[in-house]
Amino acid sequence: MIRQIRAAGRRFADRLAPTVMASISDASRLRAEVPRLRAEMQQAQQRATKATQQTQALRNRVARLEAEVQETRRLNRHVAEVTDIVQEVLLPAANRDDDRLKEVLTRYKDSF
């Protein structure tokens, strides 16, 4: 008798709200998928963490490379200044511009 009442109630609910009844019947299947979905979520989080670490490592590397480029530029500027000084000193005395030589030497000293 109780089974007949339940069956009648289910038929009534199926007609009244078919999607609700379908959702209720899918609940056990969905519960079974929860562990798999949790495992996939953990894997996705691990991949995201790894990607974040790799991104940070690349940012650090770029920052170091930029600093090295700046240092290289500074050193190249000093080499150019030394080259100018050597050129001024090695020119014959008749062609040398003493005022320019003093200016170059002063700039070179100030750069340190």
Residue 42: what pLDDT? 95
Residue 57: what pLDDT? 97
CA dihedral sign of residues 31, 32, 37, 39 = positive
Per-residue pLDDT tens digits for 17-70: 666 656 666 677 778 888 898 999 999 999 999 999 999 999 999 999 999 999
d(CA 80, CA 95): 20
Residue 72: what pLDDT? 96
Query: Between 68 and 95, where is the model more confident?
Result: 68
Token pair 């339940």 is at which residue? Answer: 6
d(CA 40, CA 37): 5
The answer to whether residue 71 scores a pLDDT higher than 80 is yes
pTM across the whole model: 0.50
